[in-house]
Structures are given as structure tokens and as C-alpha cells.
Amino acid sequence: MKIIIIICLMAGISSTAVNATTIKGVVTDALTQQPLNGVYVYINQSTQLAITDTSGKFEFNNLNSVEADLIATKMGFETLSYHINLQKIPAQIHFEMAREDTIFMLGWIGSGIAKGNEWFQLFQNFFMGHSAYASQCEILNSDILHFKWNDSTQILDVKADGPLLVSNEALGYLLIINLDDFKMNKNGDMVYDATVAFKPLHSKSIDIINKWHENRKKNYATSQVAFWKSLFNDSLQQHGFSVQFIKRIFENDLGYSEAVNNKKNTTGIQSVKEGNNIVKKKFVDVQLNGTQNKLSNFLQKKQSGVAILSAAQYILQIKYRRVDAWALDERNNGFNPFLSAFSESYSYIIFSNNISINQSGYVFPTSNFWVIGDWNWMGLSTALPYDLVL
């Protein structure tokens, strides 16, 4: 993301100003310097969302996270991101948004024509996920999506002109999603960067409100938010999570042949992002035993209330028991890997460097990381904000 931010500092702000913090800001057009209204400004992974008024201003009140990423996005403009530390808040954050260069869209296919609609269906099926909630999710502005298929790499690139709006009627949220560098293949292997805000939906029906609450409650127990929060509090086992450390060795790496010959190890092929491409690489997974499997040994808490997870040389296989959320028709066609109403599921977390976590379950990487496995298969249809209140 291109960042053009002007920070106005206020004298007298100290590290004690953590609770009930207020953030104020303004968004202007970088070219004309005129205020921009209708800009979505949000704290990533949260329900903290503001829309700029005619003067380009926005404001957040009663924030209590220690650190977070503030995102500004509007159709036709480059998305901006600013990492905030609520212990040292500036008097005002000034986003200067440059207009998006549309030249790069030459050769891309929109969702309104036949081939573009085919790519859209593929994108939607995997991005929304395969939970029972997926059928209740709808992309409201699919016309902003553009697709490009690369025959040589067999990779589909997806771009959006602005924030993608997704209605999740199962969990009661409107998701505002900023996509950045989204790539996938026909098998559904996805590599992408995205930020998301959750705007709670409203209803006059008590039954619908209760449905949202129950679905959120059921979904939370095995969500990524619950995992990160439990890790911060060193309570993974109490909340039903277990972690197995795995060392992944790719073909041509030292020790690959020896590991392949060990029948206890798992071999496979992984789609890996290299530069602007996704390539498939053979690998072998070696399960590691011993004290290194205690994930809290790799967690370093800071006085600021943020913990740093440093286990970049490993893959984490997270197992948990959950109520099967997959639809009945998926169970019958052989696609569903789970056999019982209560089944053990697992996800892989792969990351290349340190991950920062706060006590609310908010996660922000110091460099690229991504999640694959069941959490990704469940898709956006089960995504929850880190500031969820049950």
C-alpha cells in the first residue's frame, strides 16, 4: 500500500493514554488538496469503522487496543495504511489519497462478461468459503472486480477498483474488504493480502438478532481470534487448541531426500508465492517433538501489552474440536473431510517472521504471513472481528 500521511503531533501526550483513546483525522485528495467524503476509515479486523463527512473528517472514540492498523480506502483512490500506537497518539492523522492509476487494468476482464463471470464464480466460491454460512454471504458490488488469467503460470489474478462490500446474513456483518495482490489457481490455492472492517447489521426482528448472536458465539470458539487471544493468555489447552510444530523442507533443500524416506513424514505440493508468481514446490513435513512444541516458549510479552511470537522457522499445526459447520450437501458429495458432528479439525499457520498479538486477539505481522488449511477453507463466511463482544 502506498502511504502518504501527515502526522500532527500534540504536546503532552504520554504512554499512559491507553484507555478510552480518541483518534481524529482528515482525508484529502493528494492532487487537489480538497477534502474527500465517503472514505471508509477503519481499524483492521475490527468493528471500528468511520466514513468521512463532507469536510473529510473522521473520528474514533473509546479505543483500547494497544496497537492497530488504520486503513483508509475509497473507490478510485489508492488505499492507505497507518500503524497506530495508542500510547502515543498524534493530535490528527492526515491521509492524502492519490488517485488510482487505471492503466494497469488494460487486458483485465470485468465480472460483467461471460468469462469474467466464470472467474468471479471461482473467486467467490473459495473466498467466501465452504461453511454452511457461505450461502448467506453476498458480494454486493461484484462489478468492481477484474480478473486476469495467466496460461503459463495457471494463476488467476484478482483486483478491485475499491473496497469490496460483502453482506454476511449468517453472522450479521457487512464486511468492507480491501484486496491487495490476490492470486489463486483453479484448485482454490490462494495467496493474498487483505484488510477488513466489520459493520454490524441491524434488524427489527428479535429472532434474527438472536440468530446472529448464537452463530457468532458458536463460531467464535474455534476462530482465529479465539486462537490468538488464547495464545496471548497462555490458555490454548483450556480453550481446546493444541499445537504441533512442523518443519517443512522443500525439494532441493538440505535433508529433503532423507526426510522423504522416513515413512512417518508427510509429503505434498504447496503453492508458494515467489515475487509476482505462485509456483508449486514439493515438500516434506517433519513433525517435531519435545519442549519446542510449547508455543508459549516462543512468546515474548512487552510492557506495552503486545506479545511477539517468534517461531518463523516452523509451521504451526493447530488442532481443535468444533461443531461441524459444513452444509449437508457438502457432506454427501465427498468434499467434506469431517465425518462426525463433533470432529477434530486443524489449520496450518505459516509465517516468515515475527507476529505481534495483543490481548484482544488482534494480530499484525512485521512481515508477510498467511494462514492456510481449514480456517481458509471456511473463508470469509466465518470471519469475526477481534473486538467481538458476546
- For residue 331, is pLDDT > 60? no
Q: Is residue 213 part of a domain?
A: no
Contact in structure between 358 and 67 (CB atoms under 8 Å): yes
Residue whose grid cell is 508449486:
280
Q: Is residue 386 part of a domain?
A: no
For residues 196 and 167, state if they share a domain: yes
Contacts of residue 337, defined as CB under 8 A and 6 or more positions apart, other chains included, come to none
Q: Is 243 exposed, middle or buried (0-12, 13-18, 19+ CB in 10 A)?
A: buried
Q: Is residue 174 part of a domain?
A: yes
For residues 229 and 313, state if they share a domain: yes
Domain C-terminal end among 200, 235, 270 = 200
Dist. CA 366–CA 221, nearest whole Å? 26
- For residue 212, is pLDDT > 90? yes
Contact in structure between 59 and 76 (CB atoms under 8 Å): no
For residues 111 and 91, state if they share a domain: no
Strand partners, 284: 249, 267
Question: Mean of the pLDDT values across residues 25-33?
Answer: 95
Q: Is residue 190 part of a domain?
A: yes
* HEC readout, the chain: CCCCEEEECCCCCCCCCCCCEEEEEEEEECCCCCECCCCEEEECCECCEEECCCCCEEEEEEECCCEEEEEEECCCECCEEEEEECCCCCCEEEEEECECCCHHHCCCEECCCHHHHHHHHHHHHHHHCCECCHHHEEECCHHHEEEEEECCCCEEEEEECCCEEEEECCCCEEEEEEEEEEEECCCCCEEEEEEEEEEECCCCCHHHHHHHHHHHHHHHCCCHHHHHHHHHCCCCCCCCCEEEEEEEEECCCCCHHHHHHCCCCEEEEEEEEECCEEEEEEEEEEECCCHHHCHHHHEEECCCCEEEECCCCCEEEEEEEEECCECHHHHHCCCCCCCCCEEEEEEEEEECCCEEEECCCCEEECCCEEEEEHHHHHCHHHCCCCCCCC
Q: How confident is the model at residue 322 (pLDDT cuts 50, 70, 90)?
A: low
Question: Mean of the pLDDT values across residues 110-122?
Answer: 86
- For residue 149, is pLDDT > 60? yes
For residues 121 and 47, state if they share a domain: no
For residues 88 and 121, state if they share a domain: no
Q: Is residue 338 part of a domain?
A: yes
Dist. CA 178–CA 180, nearest whole Å? 7
Q: How confident is the model at residue 110 (pLDDT cuts 50, 70, 90)?
A: confident
Strand partners, 301: 307
For residues 90 and 126, state if they share a domain: no
pLDDT digits (tens, 9 = 90+) for 225-242: 988 999 998 888 888 888
- For residue 192, is pLDDT > 90? no
pLDDT at 324: 43
Domain C-terminal end among 37, 64, 97 = 97
Report the mean per-residue pLDDT for the chain: 80
pLDDT digits (tens, 9 = 90+) for 273-301: 676 666 778 989 888 876 556 788 888 88
Task: Choose between 271 and 171: higher pLDDT.
Answer: 171
pTM for the whole thing?
0.82
Q: Is residue 389 part of a domain?
A: no
For residues 62 and 107, state if they share a domain: no
For residues 226 and 373, state if they share a domain: yes
For residues 240 and 362, state if they share a domain: yes
pLDDT digits (tens, 9 = 90+) for 241-280: 888 888 888 888 889 999 998 877 888 887 776 766 667 7
- For residue 73, is pLDDT > 90? yes
Q: How confident is the model at residue 344 (pLDDT cuts 50, 70, 90)?
A: low
For residues 229 and 353, state if they share a domain: yes
Dist. CA 221–CA 240, nearest whole Å? 9
Compute the half-sphere exposure of residue 342: CA atoms within 13 Å on the CB side of its CA: 3
Domain C-terminal end among 74, 97, 120 = 97
pLDDT at 366: 64
Mean pLDDT check: name the lowest of 34-38, 204-208, 273-277, 295-299.
Answer: 273-277
Dist. CA 244–CA 288, nearest whole Å? 7
73: nearest Cα among 146, 2, 157, 158: 2
* CATH code for position 57: 2.60.40.1120
Phi, psi of 78 (to 5 degrees): -70, 135
- For residue 376, is pLDDT > 80? no
For residues 226 and 375, state if they share a domain: yes
**Which stretch, 18-27, 71-80, 116-125, 247-256, has highest mean pLDDT?**
71-80
pLDDT at 39: 97
Mean pLDDT check: name the lowest of 134-148, 187-201, 303-317.
Answer: 303-317
* HEC readout, 36-90: CCCCEEEECCECCEEECCCCCEEEEEEECCCEEEEEEECCCECCEEEEEECCCCC
Q: Is residue 144 part of a domain?
A: yes
Q: Is residue 212 part of a domain?
A: no
CB atoms within 10 A of CB 262: 9
Domain that holds residue 13: 5-97
Dist. CA 207–CA 225, nearest whole Å? 26
For residues 310 and 326, state if they share a domain: yes
Q: How confident is the model at residue 321 (pLDDT cuts 50, 70, 90)?
A: low
Dist. CA 42–CA 49, nearest whole Å? 4
Dist. CA 345–CA 341, nearest whole Å? 12
Question: Mean of the pLDDT values across residues 196-223?
Answer: 93
- For residue 166, is pLDDT > 80? yes
pLDDT at 145: 93
* Domain count for the chain: 3
pLDDT at 100: 83
Mean pLDDT check: name the lowest of 35-44, 121-130, 260-269, 321-330.
Answer: 321-330
**Which stretch, 140-154, 311-325, 344-358, has highest mean pLDDT?**
140-154
